[in-house]
A and B are shown apart, each in its own frame.
Chain A
Amino acid sequence: MFDETPQNTLPGAIKLPGAVYTISVEVNGKACTEEAPAQMTLLQFLRERLFLTGAKEGCGVGECGACTVLLNGRAVDACLVLAVEADQASVRTVEGEARDGELTLLQRAFIEHGAVQCGFCTSGMLLSAQSLLESNPHPNREEIVEAISGNLCRCTGYVQILEAIEAVGEGMEEGG
């Protein structure tokens, strides 16, 4: 639909007739403005325009979760979102999680619990887990299993990932 009537959907964003839009998006707290063709996915936009390659493409069709990012705080498969849909939105990618070189609790837990092997699923896994913990700081095992069930990992067998997330949930509890 963007191809045919771009003017009506994204006023003022057209650079090439019917094809390229200017996207303004807040990524990891920073405002970015870049051009993107209509068919470009958010995943491609992040990886190819912003060079944020933490989010991976494991399937490109919404089946593996390797591309998971947070769009306005919600975990989404970035391969299923068009870049133009992220215009004016805020996006969090794995690159923005650590602050000033300080890993998040969850990142540290992933390392300490052996939740990482090849690492290809890790970015997506972390963001699915992070989004769970932000909406439900003390999830039980079942809720954790559910939250990462859309993120495929071929290496770990998931157990250490579940343990890492659980540990953070419990840690938060202690911290009150």
Chain B
Amino acid sequence: MSADQDYKYIGKGISRLDGPEKVTGSAMFVHDMTLPGMLYGKMVKSPHACARIVSIDISEAEKSPGVRAVLVGRELPYKVGIYMIDKDILAKEVARYHGEPVVAIAAQSELAAEEACAKVKIVWEALPAVLDPREGLSPAAPLVHPELASYSYMKGVFQPQPGTNISHHQKIRKGDVEIALAKADVVWEAKFYNPPVQHVAMETHTCIAQALPGSQVQIWTSAQSPFTVRNLFSACFGIPHQNIRVHVPYVGGGFGGKAGIHLEPLAYLLSQKAGGRPVKLTMTREEEFGAMPSRQGLYSQFTTGATREGKIISLVAKYIWDAGAYADYGVNVGRAASYSGAGPYEIPNCHIDSLVVYTNKVFGTAYRGFGHLEALWGIERNMDIGARRLGLDPVEFRRRNVLRPGAKTITGETVTEHTGRVDLCLEKVAEEIGWNGIQTEEERAQAMAGGKVRGKGVALLHKAPAMPVFTSSAALLKFNENGSVDLLTSIIDYGQGTYTALAQAAAEELKMPIERIQVPWESDTAMTPYDWQTVASRGAFMGCKAVIAAARDALQQIKETASQVLRAPVEELVCRDEVVFVAHRPEECLSYREVVMGYSYPNGNSIGGPVIGRGHYIAQGLTHLDLETGQGLPALDWTYGAHGAEIEVDLDTGEITVLNLATALDVGQVLNAQSLRGQIIGGVVQGLGSALLEEFRFSPQGRLLNAGFVDYKIPTSKDLPRKMSQHIILTEQLDGPYGARGVAEHPMISVPGAIGNALYDALGIDFFELPLNAERVWLGIQRKRSETQDTLPGAIKLPRAIHLDKGGA
């Protein structure tokens, strides 16, 4: 515990406030909504990765029964985007990925819209596609966006390179890597790969939009960030903010995929064309995979130099992102991964180049962990490879390099006593898995005779929110006649448990029972106060700070009224158990209920008025990163952690069984024990999906081949580790609410690294590519068998560094 504070609600395992609605099926998702007169939208999508639209014939579709609107890209003079305004609402001249929407139709029913879509005739001229971002960097590569120079983008933060496929190049420059590499006793190189994957929220993207007279717009959407939807919508159409009303009810999962803006502009345009009838657009699961954003792929490579004693003195890293056809969040993913791009280690000399590259694939966006799962897969495997080169135990090698108080990060931030303790996380997971060093080849050979082999591995992680410097939250606490409170926020709780944590903070601060606080499960830009976005593990942190401020404001209002009635100065009033009283004469008191709508004296005179507490919080002291060196202060808070894994590999099938997965995170302070555990387990299992199962597969022509659950598997109840444990370190975050820091994304990060390292321990084989599915592992085993047969017994040749070296990385 960070302080011996006695909290009544903070830290307790209070169950979700919305539990009853969700277990009775009464929680209303956009998925469940219908409005009077509502039409249904469907889209015709590109069958090519890159193709020119020669002609579109919609004449038959327009005549199809029930059709009310047909839209093609050419009639839409708009572009949309969050950091880079690069996306057409429907493809115009060229479709840039397989699955890109080209024509949209609104009709009386989904079936009628689908039937009309089938009648659209499009003549295509296939064009050469960029399918590998490393090839996309070549000067000879076709340009995914020849008009890149003309796009607007967030200046001072991103650096698109017109005339190339690079939408952003983030540089980190600390010290002198060349000199340090020359001095290093050991230098090693390694390359890694993460495929694109999907969020797979169980509720697919869906929204309803209605264009009303006087350029008024109503939107109901399954989205993470109502105000960002509104802001980007306003920028896209030039409609003033106050005319656009965005409602977000219950949301069936997001994980980053519903951040920013997605279907809302198209639904609005269909509504407008259909004379203002509301239009609902819901993605089928296949469309969710193929047309909606993904997590972009990554090619990473590292050159690392260390002293004989095992201190890393130089790191050169290159990240090449397979960003897909539009920048969306991808540019910021590339940016965020670079300032975390050396791992939680102190490295005096570090150069990172993070290149976000347009390709002709479905575009990437934010996904839980935001570039970190991807980058840390390579970083943490690279640490184990380095330890081996140095003849060091991988845990010990990490001990010698982790960030400790006084260290400077690669962007020049100083780590303090209060930043968090990655070293303690490391020790905890090592202990939990019974870490006893890497096995020798003899030990492995012995184990292999049994057909199943075991191995252990650890991996560290860190992440800070990736968010603009001006990110802010607000909260309102609105008292009701009976003294209960409505907590209004535009943070969206799409499962994380944020609303329960906010209610706990409100109850704690207002000194009242949590049962008397309710958080309405609908955010509405016209009714709930501003919040930037619900992303980046910042919601509970910044939201609680805003709620704490709002509660203090409300109590001040209560005390001001009470001070007149009780004839005591405000400073001498105390609030407890829904009562305000004079500190030294507790019998002089008023219940909140007597005050919160205004106090009435016996003769009828009344004072005060409805109490509405108002609070806000803005991230403090953040700076833009220097465009040339990456130096600056990007982080609200760093959350550190570690995973330790023990696995068993079936040598005949290549299948991995996770026997034990221990996770330690320095969360600063627990806000809600139950939802913290839920976030950790849920995140770890999602991380296992990335580690073992998930990847997009494309045909050589760039068609997505596995847009469904038959071929794209996510973990089921049968895929859980035999044992999982969660461990919490509490190093108080000084500016965090009650000392807490963000933790929703972190459990997912570095799960692949821990499994990959355990896999080396088990097999003596380095794997560089994800996922570690049975096929890949089995092939690795076969390769090792064939290689060891033609070498001397006991001499294990490392497999070639990587099998991805066809491109220019």
Contact = CB atoms under 8 A, between A and B. Distances in A.
A117 B285 contact: no
Interface stretch (A10-18, A83-91, A107-115, A166-174): A107-115
Given A56-B252, A120-B203, A160-B681, A126 B23 contact: yes
Nearest to A108: B23
B184 interface: no
Contact of B720 (A146, A150, A157): A157
Given A117-B495, A117-B682, A156-B681, A58 B24 contact: no
A126 B13 CA distance: 22
A118 B203 contact: yes
Given A119-B27, A157-B720, A56 B203 contact: yes
Given A57-B31, A117-B495, A118-B251, A94 B714 contact: no
Interface stretch (B502-510, B561-569, B672-680, B754-762): B672-680
B124 interface: no
Contacts of B29: 53, 56, 120
B202 A152 contact: yes
A58 B682 CA distance: 18
Interface in A100-145: 103, 107, 110-112, 114, 116-123, 126, 144-145
Interface stretch (B14-22, B162-170, B371-379, B429-437): B14-22
Nearest to B685: A157
B192 interface: no
A95 interface: yes
B24 A157 contact: no
B24 A110 contact: no
B720 A158 contact: yes
Contacts of A57: 31
Interface residues of A, number: 52
B790 interface: no
A114 B24 contact: no
B714 A152 contact: yes
A74 to B, nearest CB: 19
Nearest to A117: B495
B31 A159 contact: no
B446 interface: no
A115 to B, nearest CB: 9
Contact of B685 (A61, A64, A158): A158
A158 B724 CA distance: 12
Interface in A44-73: 47, 52-61, 63-64, 66
A53 B320 CA distance: 44
Nearest to A157: B685
Nearest to B19: A111
B681 A116 contact: no
Contacts of B251: 118
A36 interface: no
Given A149-B718, A154-B714, A159-B681, A54 B15 contact: no
B32 A114 contact: no
B25 A54 contact: yes
B450 to A, nearest CB: 24
Contact of B250 (A58, A95, A119, A154): A119
A151 B677 CA distance: 21
Given A64-B709, A116-B16, A126-B23, A153 B718 contact: no
Interface in B709-725: 709-710, 714-718, 720, 724
Contact of B202 (A54, A95, A116, A153): A153
Given A56-B203, A57-B31, A60-B284, A120 B253 contact: yes
Nearest to B15: A111
Given A112-B15, A120-B29, A54 B24 contact: yes
A98 B19 CA distance: 13
A103 B20 CA distance: 8
Interface in B662-710: 674-675, 677-678, 681-686, 708-710
A152 B26 contact: no
B709 A59 contact: yes
Contact of A116 (B19, B199, B685): B19
B678 A117 contact: yes
A122 B678 contact: no
Nearest to B720: A158
Interface string B1-39: 000000000000101101111111111110110000000
B388 to A, nearest CB: 32
B709 A122 contact: no
Given A54-B26, A111-B19, A159 B724 contact: yes
A157 B23 contact: no
A111 B674 CA distance: 11
B25 to A, nearest CB: 2
Nearest to B674: A114
A94 B293 CA distance: 31
Contact of A53 (B28, B710, B715): B28
B678 A95 contact: no
Given A58-B285, A59-B708, A157 B252 contact: no
A149 B717 contact: yes
A161 B200 CA distance: 19
Contact of A114 (B250, B678, B709): B678
Contacts of A31: none
Interface of B: 13, 15-16, 18-29, 31-32, 199-204, 250-255, 284-285, 494-497, 674-675, 677-678, 681-686, 708-710, 714-718, 720, 724
The 3 A-B residue pairs whose C-beta atoms are closest, nearest first, are: A54-B25, A120-B252, A119-B22
